[in-house]
Structures are given as C-alpha cells and as structure tokens.
Chain A
C-alpha cells in the first residue's frame, strides 16, 4: 500500500481534484475567485448545443474522429498482417521501421511535413498537374481533407501495434486448415483471420478515436477557422479569451464521450473473455 501511495496522491492532486473542479465550473457562470460564491447555470451547455458555430465544431470533431479511425484501420491492417505473416526478415524489418519511425519523430515535425506535401506548390499537386489530371492546384491544406490525411498518418503506429498483438495470437494452422478445406485466400481472410483479430481491431479503433477527439497539433497547423476541432476551441477560449466555464463544458462533453466509449469497450472485452 505504501508503494502505491505516492503515485495515487500525485495523480489525485495534479489531475483528479483540479479535473473535478473544472467539471463543476461548467455549470457555473464563471470560475469563482477566492471567497466568491458560485452562480449555478446551464447556459454554457445550451450555448454549446444550440449555437451553430459551436455545434458544428463538435459535430466536426466527432465526424473527423470517425473518418480517421476507419481510414486508419484500412491502412494499418495490411501493414500489421505483413509484420506478422511476411517471412522475409528484410521486408519485415523495413515494415517495423516504417511503423516505429513516425513514433520517434515529433508530431509537430510530421505535421510540417504534411504542410509541405499538401501545399499548392507541393509534390502532390505538382505531380498531378504534370500528369494533367488537374489544371490548377487542388486545395488540400486548411480544410478537412488535409487534417484527416495527416491525422491518419500520425496515429497509424498506435493502430498497427494493437493489431499486431492480436494477429500474433492467431494460430497459422487455422488458416492452413481453412485453405485445406478449399477456402480461397479471400474466404480464409474473411472467415478466419478477420474475426479472430477483432479484439485488436476494437482496441486500436477505440484508441485512435479517442486520440483524434483530443488532437490539437494537426488541426491547429493544417486546419483553419472553418475546420476547428474541440481541443483547439478549448485552448482558444482559455488562453485567448481567459474564460473557464465554457471550455469546461466542452471538456465535460469530450470526457463523457470518452468514458462512454471506454465503458462499451470494457463490456465487449469482458464478453469475449468469457
């Protein structure tokens, strides 16, 4: 008990107690100064859910999180399958390197990379103009497309690592058995590999969805006012306008969404383990 005490006290002081205070600010008019008694109100939630500007920021945040999760899964699955199943050790090592290297590169650095790649004068636009597919640069920066592409790349390692640990536990002899029963590659994949890797798919998706919900760096650098997401809104309100209660309401919504997601996740995992 003595061993867990320091960490518990540390987290409680720095994170849980102030976190609870923030939740309470969301139903107050404003953060009360010392000795002031709070004025209770639900105005901030009403503002968040009814004013079109704020409502669109919240729907956009969840929409982008959903899109990023789906695309990320489609990109990550082949890589994870390759890491587990490819026997050539050089190709495998290269795959692992490709997945680990983004983790070791600052998220800001990677976002700068995307700014160059997706810019009007960037390699993608120049290549497509050279091919003659488009006549003038196609705008990919400062809109949802650019933010989504970059967020997928930023979070691919997290999805791949979850998938790899699930696919590793699948006994290859099950796939061989399916093949011996004359299932073709696609059938084997759909009926054996995919269902057995479901725990990894769920874990990775929940993780990436939550990470995207709270993402800040990518939307703020690659986005614009029209693509604002919840975390950027929270930062702007606190550090730009010096208000606490409205961003506290946004924070509460994000927290509730995250907890609901984790609760559903816990349910699914428990059902599987029984």
Chain B
C-alpha cells in the first residue's frame, strides 16, 4: 500500500473521487445493515410508552417489565429446551449421515446428500406445512417432543453440511491406519475421526441452535395455548402495539448472542468456525 501511495503522490495530486465515493457508499450500506439492531437496542431504553428512536429519556423499566410479562419465562424455557433437544438430535443424525456419505461408496450417494440438504433450499413454509400434517396424523402437536422433532428437520442439514466438509478434509488413511492397528470402528471414530471433525461439529451445533431458537414459522403450527416458544410470544405480542418491552426482550437476545460469540471466539477462534 505504502509504495502505491508514494507513486501517486509523485504525480500531481488528484482528489481520490473513486475511493471517497466507494467508501461513502459502503458506509451507507453498512449503516442500513446494522440499523435495525441498533434501533431496537436504543428503543429498549426509551421513557415513552411506544418504541421510538432516538430514545426519549432513559429508563431500565422495560427490562423489569419483561420479567413481569407472564408468558416470558415459560416461553424462554421451552425455546431453550427445544433448541437443545433439536441440536443434540441433529448432531447425532447429521454426523452419522455425513460419515456415511463421505466414507462409503454406494449408488445414489449424490442424490442422498442433495436430499439431506433439501430442507435448506425449500421455502420453510412448505416444510412447516408438511411437518404439521405429520403431527396431525400422529397427534404430536402442542408438545415439546413435537417441536424438537420438527426443529430437527430444519436444523439437521446445517450439521450435516458442516460435518461433511470437515470429514472430507480428514485424511481417511489415518482411519485405515487405526483400523489396521486393531482399533474397532467405535475406537477409530472416538480417537481419530472425532477430534478431527470437532470444529465442524461445533459450527453445525451453533447453527442448529440458532435456527431452532429463531424459528417462528414451524413453531406457529405446533404451539398452542399451553406451550409456546419465545418467537411465538414475541410475535403475538405485536397485537398489543409496539410496546418497548419487546425491544427489551430483543436487546437481551442480542446481548446473549454477542456474549456467546465472544466466548466461542476466545475459546475456539472464530476463523475456524466460518
């Protein structure tokens, strides 16, 4: 960079229109990208009875009211349980499927891996409708078990994809070497494969958790008066107007997600995840 700058300065000074223009454009785009998150955080501290930005005055009252809002804690609990359940189930199904696709050759392998990824590329409303039909037939609607199964359908492809990428990066001759040293298949997986695919597992698990925790469409079909996830109560809260309580809940979620990312970054390094 320095040498380029020196070269330009030797010539007659020209105002760098291109760079300034491009820089301003990029800045504007970034503001738009970050705007909704910033606005929601700001609106959580307003003293007015409606959400507004910039906030008028400063109060922490809406955070206190968040806990007073009766459906909040049970919904948070349901969402956490559902996300945890769906992540674990997705990890089991996704890792097995990724190992099967990567390590064994059989006819229809390409088709099968496209099939496993299909919930990623089909509109979620279609998946929600299909799962709703299944739950109706098996009478599993309005249960935590139903939500966990349903979320596994939309979370599993993320685990499958990220584990597949990391399995393919593992040298399979290492596994063969372990097997030739009389390690049984389970030992091979535990001692050789598992440590090597850990970043893939972690990335998949994070994606699965976020997708489940954030899902509204599928949950809308499966929740009822007795069981609701956090996105569902946030969605139904809108009928009561744009009360800043919803901004307080949102701010809490943003802060929680940021802490999670920072902890993961410190522990594992984010570059390995993406």
Contact A4 B96 (CB under 8 A): yes
Stretch in A51-59, A192-200, A231-239 with 4+ CB within 8 Å of B: A231-239
Contact B247 A254 (CB under 8 A): no
Contacts of B124 in A (CB 8 A): 214, 216, 231
Distance between B140 CB and nearest chain A CB, rounded to angstroms: 10
Q: Tell whether A156 is near chain B: CB-to-CB under 8 Å.
A: yes
Report how far A107 CA is from B263 CA in the complex, Å: 23
Contact A3 B96 (CB under 8 A): yes
Contact B134 A18 (CB under 8 A): yes
Within 8 A of A (CB), among B165-185: none
Task: Knowing A105-B37, A112-B247, A116-B51, say if A22 contacts B133 (CB, 8 Å).
Answer: yes
Contacts of A79 in B (CB 8 A): 26, 29-30, 33
Report how far A111 CA is from B214 CA in the complex, Å: 13
B261 contacts which of A14, A104, A262 (Cβ < 8 Å)? Answer: A104
Task: Knowing A108-B216, A185-B18, say if A114 contacts B36 (CB, 8 Å).
Answer: yes
Distance between A260 CB and nearest chain B CB, rounded to angstroms: 13
Q: Tell whether B82 is near chain A: CB-to-CB under 8 Å.
A: no
B216 contacts which of A99, A107, A211 (Cβ < 8 Å)? Answer: A107
Report how far A231 CA is from B97 CA in the complex, Å: 31
Q: Tell whether A213 is near chain B: CB-to-CB under 8 Å.
A: yes
Contacts of A238 in B (CB 8 A): 129, 132, 221
Contact A113 B153 (CB under 8 A): no
Stretch in A5-13, A40-48, A128-136, A166-174 with 4+ CB within 8 Å of B: A5-13
Task: Knowing A78-B22, A78-B29, A105-B254, say if A14 contacts B129 (CB, 8 Å).
Answer: no
Contacts of A137 in B (CB 8 A): none
Contact B153 A15 (CB under 8 A): yes
Report how far A4 CA is from B116 CA in the complex, Å: 10
Distance between B92 CB and nearest chain A CB, rounded to angstroms: 8
Distance between B87 CB and nearest chain A CB, rounded to angstroms: 15
A245-263 toward B: CB 8 Å interface, digit per residue (1/0)? 0011001001100100010
Q: Tell whether B227 is near chain A: CB-to-CB under 8 Å.
A: no
Contact A262 B258 (CB under 8 A): no
Report how far A150 CA is from B39 CA in the complex, Å: 14
Q: Tell whether A210 is near chain B: CB-to-CB under 8 Å.
A: yes
Contact B250 A109 (CB under 8 A): yes
Q: Tell whether B231 is near chain A: CB-to-CB under 8 Å.
A: yes
Distance between A239 CB and nearest chain B CB, rounded to angstroms: 7
Contact A251 B253 (CB under 8 A): no
Q: Which residue from chain B places its CB closest to the CB of A79 in the assembled complex? A: B29
Distance between B233 CB and nearest chain A CB, rounded to angstroms: 10
Within 8 A of B (CB), among A41-87: 75, 78-79, 82, 87
Q: Which residue from chain B places its CB closest to the CB of A150 in the assembled complex? A: B36
Task: Knowing A7-B160, A22-B130, A185-B18, say if A258 contacts B125 (CB, 8 Å).
Answer: no
Contact A262 B33 (CB under 8 A): no
A144-183 toward B: CB 8 Å interface, digit per residue (1/0)? 0000001001001000000000000000000000000000
Contact A3 B26 (CB under 8 A): no
Distance between B265 CB and nearest chain A CB, rounded to angstroms: 11
Distance between B248 CB and nearest chain A CB, rounded to angstroms: 11
Contact A10 B93 (CB under 8 A): yes
Report how far A224 CA is from B129 CA in the complex, Å: 22
Q: Tell whether A273 is near chain B: CB-to-CB under 8 Å.
A: no
Q: Which residue from chain B places its CB closest to the CB of A221 in the assembled complex? A: B238
Contacts of B5 in A (CB 8 A): none
Report how far A8 CA is from B156 CA in the complex, Å: 11
Within 8 A of A (CB), among B193-240: 210, 213-214, 216-217, 220-221, 231, 234-235, 238
Contacts of A262 in B (CB 8 A): 121
Distance between A130 CB and nearest chain B CB, rounded to angstroms: 13
Contact A116 B39 (CB under 8 A): yes
Q: Tell whether B101 is near chain A: CB-to-CB under 8 Å.
A: yes
Contacts of B104 in A (CB 8 A): 1, 3
* Most chain B CB within a 10 A radius of its CB, from A78, A94, A185: A78
Distance between A28 CB and nearest chain B CB, rounded to angstroms: 13
Chain B contacts to A: CB under 8 angstroms: 1, 18, 22, 25-26, 29-30, 32-40, 43, 50-54, 92-94, 96-97, 99-101, 103-104, 106, 112, 115-116, 118-119, 121-127, 129-134, 137, 149-150, 152-153, 156, 160, 210, 213-214, 216-217, 220-221, 231, 234-235, 238, 242, 246-247, 250, 253-254, 257-258, 261, 274
Q: List 12 A-B contacts (CB under 8 A).
A: A4-B96, A15-B130, A15-B153, A18-B130, A75-B29, A95-B26, A104-B258, A153-B33, A207-B121, A221-B238, A251-B125, A258-B126
Query: What 6 A-B pairs come out closest when comparing CB atoms?
Result: A214-B123, A113-B36, A3-B100, A4-B100, A18-B133, A109-B250
Inter-chain pairs besides A3-B104, A7-B116, 12 sampled, C-beta below 8 Å: A8-B112, A11-B156, A78-B25, A79-B29, A82-B26, A99-B33, A105-B254, A109-B250, A123-B53, A238-B129, A238-B132, A255-B126
